[in-house]
Amino acid sequence: MELVELGLSRLEDMLAVQPRDASICQSELSSPGYLVWGALRKEAVIGYVVVDSRITPHEIHMIAVHPESRRQGIGFRMLTAVVAKYRSIFLEVSDSNTAAQKLYARAGFREVGRRKAYYNDGSDAILMQVGDEIVMERNISET
């Protein structure tokens, strides 16, 4: 697996990995400060990570692995490559998504806060981080 920066020419490949609104993907691929790192196998995109590098620590907005490539360690390898590249990075995950929480913890992320009833289904957002940069100066659970 190779991790490379994706450009607009790979938009259709991203949508094949994780169906989403094409305009959102296009915006991420063309916005300054947003970087999309793709996992390639034989030139095919099998996963990607969207990173907002406009802020410090950087933020992972999305991680996706093609259904046929899941449970092969692709997500973990993408996460560890992104962590090695940026050193300090954070993300949000639903408290109901225990599989993702375990993956992030395995990659070195730790819980640093919560946002109560953040998602439409009423679940909390768990803020997880790698590195020592301060994500927020106050307790997120107070918001």
Topology of the domain comprising 88-143 = Aminopeptidase (3.40.630)
| C-alpha 37: how far from chain center | 10
Residue 6: DSSP 8-state: -
Residue with tokens 């020592």: 132
pLDDT, residue 88, reads 86
pLDDT, residue 44, reads 85
Domain regions of the chain by residue span: 1-72, 88-143
CATH architecture of 1-72: 3-Layer(aba) Sandwich (3.40)
pLDDT, residue 143, reads 41
pLDDT, residue 114, reads 93
pLDDT, residue 77, reads 92
State phi, psi for 34 to the nearest 5 degrees: -95, 125
pLDDT, residue 142, reads 42
pLDDT, residue 33, reads 84
d(CA 28, CA 50): 8
pLDDT, residue 138, reads 37
Ranges of residues in the chain whose predicted pLDDT is under 70 = 8, 19, 133-143
Examine domains 1-72 and 88-143 and report if their fold is the same: yes
What is this structure's pTM? 0.81
